[in-house]
Every structure is written in C-alpha cells, then in structure tokens.
Amino acid sequence: MIATLIATIIMGLYLGWYIKKYGIPESISQTVFKLPHEVCFTLVMYSVGFLNIAQMIDHCSENTKFLAFLSIAGVLFVGAAPLGKDCNEKVHIAGALFFGICSQIMIALNAPLLLLGWVPCVFWLVKSAGRHYKFWLEMACIIDLLVFCLL
C-alpha cells in the first residue's frame, strides 16, 4: 500500500507541476514534449507501473492476475516509447490501449463498483464539451487503478 501511495504522490506532483506551468494537456502523454528531459516522463510512468504491480496482483483473483501484468506492460510501453527512435507512436498507442482496456477489465472483474469512478469523468466530459477528453479518460483509468490498489 505504501508503494501505491508513493506512486500516487509521484504522479500527482508530476501532473500538478505540469498543469500549473503549461495548463491541462491534451493527454498525459503529451506532457513529454514540453519537458527538458524526456526521461522524466519515462521515470514517472515506470514508477506508476512498478510500484503498483504487487498491489494489483494481490487484489486480483487467480483468473485475472494476467490482466494486471498486461496493464503494467502497457504503462511500461507508454513510458518507453519516447526513448525509442522508431515506431514511437504505434508502440505508445498500443501501450496506452493495453493499459486502459486491461486495467478496466481487471477492475470490472474484481471490484466492479469502482467503475463508478467513471461517472464524474463522463459528467465532466459532457459539461466541458469534450475538451481534453484523452486526458480525462486517462485520468479516470489511472484513478480507478490507484483506488483499486489502495483498497
């Protein structure tokens, strides 16, 4: 649980700093392009992945543990994509989709009530006419995952 709290703090500080300095990005991944060092984004993504893996596996049923691994693999691919020279976008998109889909299926199968976390996201998207929709969808996935790991 402490590792998940540390990951939450790291992600919160990173996004808080970015939003204060540049405003809300189109997506979390877009933050990498304004950083002086792309490796900062990679380290944040890796911290979210590696610090949550034990909690995710611990909270999963035996039949859904593989979804935890696929989710983490997605986060790691997202973090690694800016470091590569070829196929950045394809690797990045595949990783983001793996993370988003696998993490939410894992949560749906293990703690379905946590999917109610999507309600404020959908409300906000409707209210804001879809501005920054990727960012808010990514935030809903990450927040759901962090709450899943903390419970």
pLDDT in tens, 102-140: 999 999 999 999 888 888 878 877 777 677 888 888 888
Q: What is the pLDDT of residues 33-68, one digit of tens each?
A: 888 787 888 899 999 889 989 899 999 999 999 999
* Percent share of the chain, pLDDT over 70: 95
**29: exposed, middle or buried (Cβ count in 10 Å: 0-12, 13-18, 19+):** buried
Q: Does residue 36 sit in helix, strand or coil?
A: coil
